[in-house]
Amino acid sequence: MNLKEQMKDAIISLMDQNKKNKFLKNTVELRCKCGFSEKITYFDFLSGGEFEIGKPTRTVSPFISESIYEETISVTPLMLSRKCSSCGEIIVTVFPISLENIIPMLRSGPPDLLMYG
Ligand SMILES: [Zn+2]
């Protein structure tokens, strides 16, 4: 199993543990270029395992640091592709929270290597 699959599995099992988490009732809008749109909850987005883990990008940390070196953090998008139920085109939606942020939000235990993978 590669790292992406491990992360995906980790998210799916965390979703299982967070079924009652109110935060996951927030919605994401899927909008097609034909004008069709639908809303799904964070839970629906992540729990079905339909999402894909995107390519991580490096970005400068938003936290002010006193170190001399610029700190960069990794941001990995989570994306969902769904067929538009109106025109049949594929709608690709990016989850509003990056992989690096959603995992600690869902995890109640101490952090482990996955967060830093
Ligand atoms: Zn459409």
Question: Over the chain, what is the mean pLDDT?
Answer: 86
Distance 82 CA to ligand 1 centre (A): 10
Which tens digit of pLDDT belongs to each residue from 8-24?
A: 999 999 999 999 999 99
- What number of CA atoms fall less than 13 Å from residue 44's CA on the CB side? 13
- Whether 110 shows a pLDDT value over 90: the answer reads no
Q: Compute, in angstroms, the gap from residue 86 CA to the centroid of ligand 1.
A: 5
Task: Please give the torsion angle defined by the CA atoms of residues 72, 76, 32 and 29, in that order, rounded to the nearest 10 degrees.
Answer: -90
pTM of the predicted model as reported, rounded to 2 decimal places: 0.78
What pLDDT, on the 0 to 100 scale, is given for residue 71?
Answer: 74
- Cα(31) to centroid(ligand 1), Å: 8
DSSP 16: H
Count CB-CB contacts under 10 A for residue 73.
Answer: 14
Q: How far is the CA of 38 from the centre of ligand 1 (A)?
A: 10
Using the mean position of ligand 1's atoms as its centre, give its distance from the Cα of residue 37 in Å. Answer: 8
Question: What does the pLDDT average to over 74-101?
Answer: 95
81 Cα–ligand 1 center, Å = 12
> How many A from CA of 93 to the centre of ligand 1?
13
| 59-79 confidence digits (pLDDT tens) | 877 665 565 566 788 899 999
CA distance 11 to 106: 8
**Dihedral angle computed from the Cα positions of residues 95, 117, 54 and 94, in that order, rounded to the nearest 10 degrees:** 10
